[in-house]
């Protein structure tokens, strides 16, 4: 499996509860390297653009309000098969369905307040990384 990069967000429910380090420990324990990271407050425009694919879903408004409610930590993760590996480490979207030991099983509050985001494919990973990071901010 090739070395890949994926994009991660530690979401407001996790930053608010001081869980940034705990989430990062799970990421690193899985063998993924955090090769870029910054704590930001998303603007409404950022959140609406980032989640544009969900704009017709009933939870879109709630999702945008949540993502701008507190700071988030955006990250680039690198490793063997990083996209699939991070999705495994995150666990299912709904924490009630997430496997033992996953980030969402341990920390997420609900389907919406689910602590982390991870890219779902190489194309989205590249787009999401480029939206939040300049090339010089990423050091593998
Ligand atoms: P994420 O991986 O960031 O991508 C889309 C997000 O929409 C998802 O995580 C959840 O936070 C959110 N989401 C998905 N389903 C629901 C739902 N039923 N209610 C509220 N938010 C949801």
pTM of the full predicted structure? Answer: 0.97
54 catalytic residue (yes or no):
no
Question: CA distances (Å), 25 to each of 33, 34, 115, 134, in order?
Answer: 11, 10, 14, 25
* Ligand 1 proximity of 63 Cβ (cutoff 6 Å): yes
Q: How far is CA 96 from the centre of its chain?
A: 18
Among protein residues, the one with the nearest Cα to ligand 1's atom 1 is 117
Residue 91 burial class via C-beta count within 10 angstroms: exposed 0-12, middle 13-18, buried 19 and up: buried
What secondary structure letter does DSSP report for 6? Answer: E
Beta strands in the chain (DSSP E): 3-10, 33-40, 72-80, 116-118
pLDDT by residue (tens digit) across 92-135? 999 999 999 999 999 999 999 999 999 999 999 999 999 999 99
């Amino acid at each position: 499996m090739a070395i890949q990069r994926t994009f991660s967000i530690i979401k407001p429910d996790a930053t608010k509860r001081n869980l940034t380090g705990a989430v990062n420990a799970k990421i690193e324990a899985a063998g993924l390297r955090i090769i870029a990271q910054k704590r930001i407050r998303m603007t409404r425009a950022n959140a609406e653009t980032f989640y544009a694919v969900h704009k017709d879903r009933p939870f879109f408004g709630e999702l945008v309000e949540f993502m701008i409610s507190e700071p988030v930590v955006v990250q680039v993760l690198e490793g063997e098969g990083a996209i699939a590996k991070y999705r495994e480490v995150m666990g299912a979207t709904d924490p009630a369905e997430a496997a033992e030991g996953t980030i969402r099983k341990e920390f997420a509050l609900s389907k919406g307040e689910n602590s982390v985001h991870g890219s779902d494919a190489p194309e989205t990973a590249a787009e999401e990384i480029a939206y939040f990071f300049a090339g010089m901010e990423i050091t593998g």
